[in-house]
Structure 1
């Protein structure tokens, strides 16, 4: 059921089995599995998942290579709703552990917003990460090409950059290391710092030895047409021609709503077991929030594993099938 400010009151006294925070591929997968286990699930989605603005999902098995990420999410949401799951567009502000339940405060609506508190026995954090984009005065100029031939994921899209003139846009000296991985796909690399920091002499020497160009002048704008970036214009008027680009500006992890919990972390990723369970027994983390490979296919599998483990937990609490831990975890 699609929830909104108009009908949310109907659910105010309900305790869900699981609230899933994030309606991306991982959250949707978890929701589908939970509903198929006859559990009650609410997905709270802030909108614009990382995969939403990916224009083509080239590496998802069985789907057309040119399928947009937003179409995958649309199909997933329809599937979830068809199984009688609840969906709410909103921003989770805080989660409080009440003992047997979690109290989840959500901001609903941009104007005349309300802040309902919803409850569940378990929580799945699937809210992902937000990529930092190169800061230009006209950020629309960045979004015009991001997700097309201006990429944010080397693992996802390195193949698309094979033997092309590639711009690597970095936000720190540490992220310049990405160039040495990108070289697997192309030797034609120009590193842009946008004047955000000073590159050390040792790093400059490494780049020069490999034949990679280093440009430290700030960027004025991207150039191109029809969403295909063809180069960048610098603030001094010079132009660097490119065929593709990779943004390596770092990311922000969207899990501040868990600040009340002292969860184990590794480099700001949430540490989990193989089912997605965090150091809190009733909080699971899946997809880009947890330690591991950040891929749509992985997030979908994470959702299936987390949903299945929660079902196992709840079955055990209700005393059904004492040897449930011995059941296979095959996912179909």
Structure 2
């Protein structure tokens, strides 16, 4: 059922088998499998999953290439709710390991917020990441093109930039070596630093040796129409013609609610086994939070794996169910 402030009290005393933090492709996939395994699950979704911004899913098996990410998510939520799963729109603030259960504190509502606590035996962290975008005075100008031909994932969209004039927008020098991978699809690369850092002489020479342009002047705005970016205007009034762009400025990881629990990390990612189990035996991580490939279709598979492993564990602990009528005959 869809949970809201009006019916929160109906679920306060329930101990779920699994709480899933995040309603993206991975979290919804996990929830669907959990419900089909006859387990009780609650998905807590803050809204606006990374895939929500994908205007067209060109690489998802079986879907028309013009399917928006938000359609995939809506269909997933409808499927989950049809299986009697619980869904709450809220922001998970804290998870506390209580031993046999976890307590999950949630902020519900942006105004007049309430802070219910739910309990669960297992936790699946599926809250994902959000990409850092170039900060402009008019951020709406960025959103006008992001997810169309201003991309954030080369694995997803490298095919879309083949032989086009591509702007690579980076947030640090550590991001610039991505040009090596971008050049597989197009060598027509201009690197934009937005004035955020100083490029080393060694890196300047490397870019020059490959014929790539380097623009360090901050960006005033993106240029284009009908969601198709065709260049940038710099703060000094100059313009640079482009046909596409790739943003590589890093990401925000939505995992702060786990800070009170010691978990093995690799950089900003949670380390898991092949089924998604973290270094804590009852916490699983799927999708962009874990070490691996950041892809919608991979996250959906991760959800199936984590849910299946949890079901296997609960099933083994419960043992076989007897056919009582036969035993009493």
Question: TM-score range with shorter-chain normalisation?
Answer: over 0.9
Partner of 2:106: 106
Partner of 2:147: 147
Deviations 1:86-117 (A, max 9, x none): 00000000000111111000000000000000
SS of 1:94 mapped into structure 2: strand
Aligned partners of 1:208 and 1:61: how far apart in 2?
39
* 1:81 equivalent in alignment to 2:87: no
* 1:214 equivalent in alignment to 2:246: no
**Between Structure 1 and Structure 2, how many residues are aligned?**
321
Partner of 1:198: 198
Which structure 2 residues correspond to residues 12-91 of structure 1 after superposition, within 5 A?
12-91=12-91
Partner of 1:94: 94
Partner of 2:165: 165
Per-residue deviation at 1:267? 1.1
Partner of 1:307: 307
Unaligned runs of 5+ in 1: 322-332
Partner of 1:271: 271
Partner of 2:232: 232
Aligned partners of 1:89 and 1:298: how far apart in 2?
24
Deviations 1:48-92 (A, max 9, x none): 000001000000010000000000000000000000000000000
SS of 2:110 mapped into structure 1: coil
Aligned partners of 1:247 and 1:268: how far apart in 2?
19
TM-score (norm 2): 0.97
Partner of 1:182: 182
CA-based RMSD of the aligned residues comes to 0.7
TM-score (norm 1): 0.96
SS of 2:93 mapped into structure 1: strand
* 1:131 equivalent in alignment to 2:131: yes
Aligned partners of 2:182 and 2:61: how far apart in 1?
23
* 1:9 equivalent in alignment to 2:6: no
Question: Which structure 1 residue ranges, 4+ long, deviate > 3 Å from structure 2?
Answer: none
SS of 2:257 mapped into structure 1: helix
Aligned partners of 1:180 and 1:197: how far apart in 2?
20
Per-residue deviation at 1:314? 0.5
Per-residue deviation at 1:146? 0.3
Per-residue deviation at 1:320? 3.0
